[in-house]
Amino acid sequence: MSDSLPGPSTGSLTATTVSLAGHGGDAIEAYLARPEGDARRGGVVVIHHMPGYDRQTKEMVRRFAESGYDAVCPNLYTREAPGAAPDDAAAVARAQGGVPDERLIGDVAGAAAYLRALPTSNGKVGVIGHCSGGRQAVLAGCATDVDAVVDCYGAFVIGPVPEGSPMKVTSLVDRLPDLGAPLLGLFGDEDTHPGPAEVAELGRLLTESDKAFEFHTYPGAGHGFFAVNRPNYNVAAANDGWERIEEFYGRHLAGGERS
């Protein structure tokens, strides 16, 4: 194992629901998972996808804990539908146009602060999201002090929302010069949001702004290829993607306190 990666894990972890301070100091529900032991380690904020704060997202949180990180997923729909089932909460949020960008920034900043306040924190926090969460991860990288960003096929980072869509999100092109952390992007070449042309344009814009990034696009993979419970799940792409995520976070979240 590389010296940059978290130490060996016994696989033992704790997972529980907590409350943390989000945008405007609002108390929001969150799912926290932590490996056993008191070793200093990095943290990961997991941004759930449009379908919500669901079982599959919580499994990802636990996976990061098993890999040696403190990980937390804030329930972005706490305000719209407290206590509702994920599908119901997502329907309410979608009907309202999605999570407002400034509120998302505040909620991720609050989740990152929560992780950094844990006694095991080494001060470093990464963020990851899939689909709508991928776009939001990039947004968080442009507007908060996270240390590493993973965008898994984030829709509408630069492209427009289709006409007639209830989603009220805008392009992040104007924000990209503010990206303050290295970015890992994982995409499918059969995806349409973002399609290959959008991924290429995003890479051009990041290069133009002299940002640190690496993109990987998987042949034969469509949107949602990480989602084990969906038809687009692609075993080869997802397995390689997880390896790249672990290596990327190993490089950027390991070590001592932030400078």
Q: Which residue has the higher pLDDT, 43 or 52?
A: 43
Domain carrying residue 240: 13-253
- Round to whole Å and give the CA distance between 248 and 252: 6
Number of domains comprising the chain: 1
Q: DSSP letters of 115-177?
A: HHTSTTEEEEEEEEEETHHHHHHHHHHHHS--SEEEEES-TTSSSPPPTT-S------GGGGG
User: For the sheet containing 121-130, what is the strand order?
Assistant: 13-21, 27-35, 70-74, 41-47, 121-130, 148-152, 183-188, 213-218
Tell me which residue of 219, 138, 146 sits closest to 175, measured CA to CA.
Answer: 138
Rounded mean pLDDT, 70-81: 94
Whole-angstrom CA distances from 22 to 103, 125, 188 are 8, 16, 32
* Residue 1 within any structural domain of the chain: no
Residue 65 lies in a domain: yes
Q: How confident is the model at residue 167, as a pLDDT? A: 76
Predicted confidence at residue 79, as pLDDT, reads 92
pLDDT of 155-209, one tens digit each? 999 988 878 777 788 899 999 999 999 999 999 999 999 999 999 999 999 999 9
Name the average pLDDT for the chain: 92
The CATH number of the domain where 63 resides is what? 3.40.50.1820
pLDDT for residue 161? 82
Residue 121 lies in a domain: yes
Residue 259 counted as domain residue: no
pLDDT at 63: 97
Is 187 domain-assigned?
yes
pLDDT at 128 exceeding the cut of 80:
yes
Say what the pLDDT of residue 93 is: 87
Answer yes or no: is 152 within a domain: yes
Residue 43 lies in a domain: yes
Asked if residue 2 belongs to a domain, the reply is no
pLDDT band at 4 (very low <50, low <70, confident <90, very high): very low
